[in-house]
């Protein structure tokens, strides 16, 4: 059923004399339609996938056909974050900060093998195995790198996801402010503050074990 | 003189801009009716800026295009699937990012391995589409697919492909890789002819010696 059919034959009873003069729809539909038709991606590339993203934005594949023509260099003005490329441990704090700075509603598209699961660098000392460990990802586009057409397919998938959402249930219209994701800390390794309780317990365990060993060795010496 | 380069660069952009309108007039309307016009305009001979209206029209995929690998099976006379894969594990060994996981089948009676995979997994979040698996497979059992429309909403449940998801018939391979398929079949036929000749020669020798 096309959109016009749905507008002309709503479930709601319409008097006969007004049949062709009024259209009935839901707020959700209009709201989602306007939101998905003006998704502004963030101008933000990490690795080789970014080259394909640039190609997608250029005139041959032309993102503007989907209302995404303006890639905003500022997170404050963008709705969609395309994580295009290898997410290194050094870059994760910046990515999470950028995600926190985006105004809601916000979406994340993980582009390519590296961003989704670490790709060829999986379990590397410097690469995060999946950006979804830190920010919630809506659509994953596999490929190494995905071709512009594959990325466009992913972007259409984001639009389809938006179409299914309802103002009543989406997390950004609930009561109270939404919580920001704690920014990971880059030390000798990356530390996720959400796991600090677990880390603290583990550290305490290790410390008691170390003191026990020291006491034992001290007793042996005495 | 300063700034000449900028003017020249802008000239290129202007040329593309004008060229696209000139080309539009030359192909007037044909773009939507004939595939030929589309292919010429998006190829090397196309002039100006040409947009591929992706979901409605898509580029022709070159034969050597690589995306996620797939497994080949031969269709038996009764419609059963006979896997070409023998679970030798060469693809898993050459895979640079190590995204292939194979489990061998064991004969339930003797406990010895049978040349057929019990399970075959590819993590498409790790696969880097290099095509080494297809290059090295001695049985032509794994090939690179052309299907790129595989974006999904969940990676933990959707992105580890098992044997059912990966398996595709040989006819599909013949359809997307016609040149490769013809070369493989020719090589196989030559191999078999050689083997038959050798067998015949051996039989003759045995007869003579008797």
What is the distance between the alpha carbons of residues A192 and A202, in angstroms, rounded to a whole number?
A: 14
3-state secondary structure of A96: helix
Q: pLDDT tens digit string along A182-211?
A: 999 888 888 888 888 998 999 999 999 988
Token pair listed for A202 = 């583990």
Chain B residues within an 8 Å CB radius of A124: none
How high is the mean pLDDT of chain B? 88
Which residue is listed with tokens 């041959």? A60
Other beta carbons within 10 Å of B152: 16
Q: What is the pLDDT of residues B73-126, one digit of tens each?
A: 998 888 888 889 998 899 999 999 999 999 988 888 888 888 888 899 999 989
Chain B touched by A144 (CB under 8 Å): yes
> In angstroms, rounded to a whole number, what is the distance separating the alpha carbons of residues B88 and B75?
21
Q: Which are the contacts of B127, defined by CB distance < 8 A and separation ≥ 6?
A: A113, A142, A144, B68, B69, B97, B99
Interface of B with A in 142-171 (CB under 8 A): 148-155, 158-159
The distance from CA A117 to its chain's CA centroid, rounded to whole angstroms, is 14
pLDDT value at residue B135: 92
- Give kind and range of the element (H or E) at residue B101: strand B100-106
CB within 8 Å: A116 and B129: no
Total count of residues recorded for chain B? 210
Helix (H, G, I), strand (E, B) or coil at B172: helix
| Nearest by CB: A132 against B128, B150, B155 | B155
Write the DSSP symbol of residue A20. Answer: T
Contact criterion met (CB below 8 Å) for A141 and A110: yes
In this predicted structure, what is the pLDDT of residue A214?
86
Secondary structure (3-state) at A101: helix
Mean pLDDT, chain A, whole residue set: 87
d(CA A99, CA A78): 10
Q: Residue A46 has which token pair?
A: 């990490």
A117 touches chain B (CB under 8 A): yes
pLDDT band at A8 (very low <50, low <70, confident <90, very high): low
Say yes or no: A132 contacts chain B, CB-CB below 8 A.
yes
Angle at A199 between CA A194 and CA A204, to 5 degrees: 145
Look at the block and give the residue holding tokens 């031969």. B74
Does A61 sit within 8 Å of B151, measured CB to CB? no
The domains of chain B, with CATH numbers, are 1-59 (no CATH), 69-190 (3.30.70.3270)
- Read off the pLDDT of each residue in A212-216 and give the average, rounded to a whole number: 86
Q: How far apart, in Å, are the Cα atoms of A12 and each of A27, A31, B183?
A: 14, 19, 63
Q: Around Cβ B56, how many Cβ atoms within 10 Å?
A: 7
């Amino acid at each position: 059923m096309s959109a016009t059919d749905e507008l002309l034959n709503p479930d709601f009873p319409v008097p006969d004399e007004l049949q062709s003069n009024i259209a009935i729809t839901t707020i959700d539909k209009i709201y989602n339609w306007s939101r998905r038709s003006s998704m502004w991606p963030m101008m933000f590339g990490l690795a080789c996938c970014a080259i394909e993203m640039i190609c997608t934005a250029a005139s041959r594949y032309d993102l503007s056909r989907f209302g995404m023509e303006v890639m905003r260099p500022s997170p404050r003005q963008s709705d969609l974050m395309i994580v295009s490329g290898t997410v290194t441990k050094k870059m994760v704090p910046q990515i999470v900060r950028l995600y926190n700075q985006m105004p809601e509603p916000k979406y994340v598209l993980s582009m390519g093998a590296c961003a989704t699961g670490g790709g060829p660098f999986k379990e590397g000392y410097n690469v995060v195995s999946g950006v979804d460990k830190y920010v919630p990802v809506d659509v994953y586009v596999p490929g190494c790198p995905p071709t512009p057409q594959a990325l466009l397919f992913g972007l259409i998938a984001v639009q389809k996801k938006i179409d299914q959402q309802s103002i009543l249930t989406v997390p950004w219209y609930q009561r109270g402010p939404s919580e920001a994701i704690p920014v990971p800390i880059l030390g000798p390794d990356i530390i996720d503050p959400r796991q600090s309780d677990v880390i603290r317990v583990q550290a305490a365990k290790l410390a008691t074990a170390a003191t026990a060993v020291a006491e034992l060795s001290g007793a042996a010496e005495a | 003189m300063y700034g000449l380069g900028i003017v020249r660069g802008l000239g290129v952009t202007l040329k593309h801009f004008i060229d696209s309108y000139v080309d539009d007039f030359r192909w007037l309307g044909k773009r939507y009716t004939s595939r030929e016009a589309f292919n010429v305009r998006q190829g090397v001979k196309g002039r100006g800026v040409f947009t591929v209206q992706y979901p409605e029209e898509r580029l022709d995929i070159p034969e050597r295009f690589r995306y996620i690998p797939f497994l080949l099976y031969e269709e038996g006379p009764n419609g059963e699937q006979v896997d070409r894969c023998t679970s030798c594990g060469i693809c898993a060994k050459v895979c640079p990012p190590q995204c292939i996981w194979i489990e061998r089948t064991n004969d339930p009676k003797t406990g010895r391995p049978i040349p057929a995979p019990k399970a075959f997994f590819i993590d498409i979040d790790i696969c880097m589409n290099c095509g080494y698996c297809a290059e090295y497979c001695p049985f032509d059992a794994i090939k690179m697919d052309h299907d790129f429309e595989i974006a999904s909403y969940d990676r933990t449940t959707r992105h580890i492909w098992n044997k059912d998801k990966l398996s595709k018939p040989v006819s599909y391979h013949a359809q997307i890789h016609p040149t490769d398929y013809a070369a493989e079949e020719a090589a196989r036929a030559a191999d078999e002819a050689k083997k038959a000749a050798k067998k015949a020669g051996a039989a003759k020798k045995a007869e003579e010696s008797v």
